[in-house]
Chains A and B, each alone.
Chain A
Amino acid sequence: KAGVTQTPRYLIKTRGQQVTLSCSPISGHRSVSWYQQTPGQGLQFLFEYFSETQRNKGNFPGRFSGRQFSNSRSEMNVSTLELGDSALYLCASSLNPWDRQETQYFGPGTRLLVL
């Protein structure tokens, strides 16, 4: 079974631009979560989607948004990019979002550099 895939793997943008990142979960997984990883703040939860609905959201500004499609693929968008948005963005998928015992499986990440 294929793992979580993320595209693109690397991205360079300039301040003020917007960016869209894509995540395809493991087949059969309907829950997708996004995390931001930076050297200064570590791993921080962005949001979670299940059945095309956002179930949970972290403490990030409204410039960060996401959506999920009927095939469970998810996209996240960052508008008006700032230098501080440079990070590794990780996507994770799981079967059951209500079960705290559930394992989340992570993709390789998209590394975004904002110049």
Chain B
Amino acid sequence: GDSVTQMEGPVTLSEEAFLTINCTYTATGYPSLFWYVQYPGEGLQLLLKATKADDKGSNKGFEATYRKETTSFHLEKGSVQVSDSAVYFCACAGGGNKLTFGTGTQLKVEL
């Protein structure tokens, strides 16, 4: 079945630092890839997605590019803010509606 591996957290950064959270996937066919974010006490919010190779998803300064050759979908942001502190989940949809998630990466941004 599908699987997603993302870097372990927690990740602690200073405000305005550059962020990278690595994500690799294993899936048959051509999955869609997603990044979701979860703030404390809340459900998951879609951050961005990409549906085919070389697509770049972007939202709120976050970006991720669908790299089929390396089966990766790394999340990046050029300058993080304290308000970005949350848990980030990489996910893939290999067929239909079933999402397979990574273990989540907790991000803490300090002043």
Contacts and interface: CB of A to CB of B under 8 A. Distances in A.
Q: Say whether A and B bind each other.
A: yes
Interface of A: 4, 6, 31, 33, 35, 42-43, 45, 48, 55-56, 58, 90, 92, 94, 97-98, 100-109
27 contacts: A33-B98, A35-B99, A42-B102, A42-B103, A42-B104, A43-B89, A45-B98, A45-B99, A58-B98, A92-B99, A97-B97, A100-B51, A100-B93, A100-B94, A100-B95, A100-B97, A101-B49, A102-B93, A103-B34, A103-B46, A104-B46, A105-B46, A106-B36, A106-B44, A107-B43, A108-B42, A109-B43
B96 interface: yes
Interface of B: 30-32, 34, 36, 42-46, 49, 51, 89, 91, 93-104
Nearest to B30: A100
Given A42-B101, A43-B101, A101-B32, A106 B96 contact: no
A56 B97 CA distance: 9
B44 A100 contact: no
A24 B95 CA distance: 24
Contacts of A35: 99
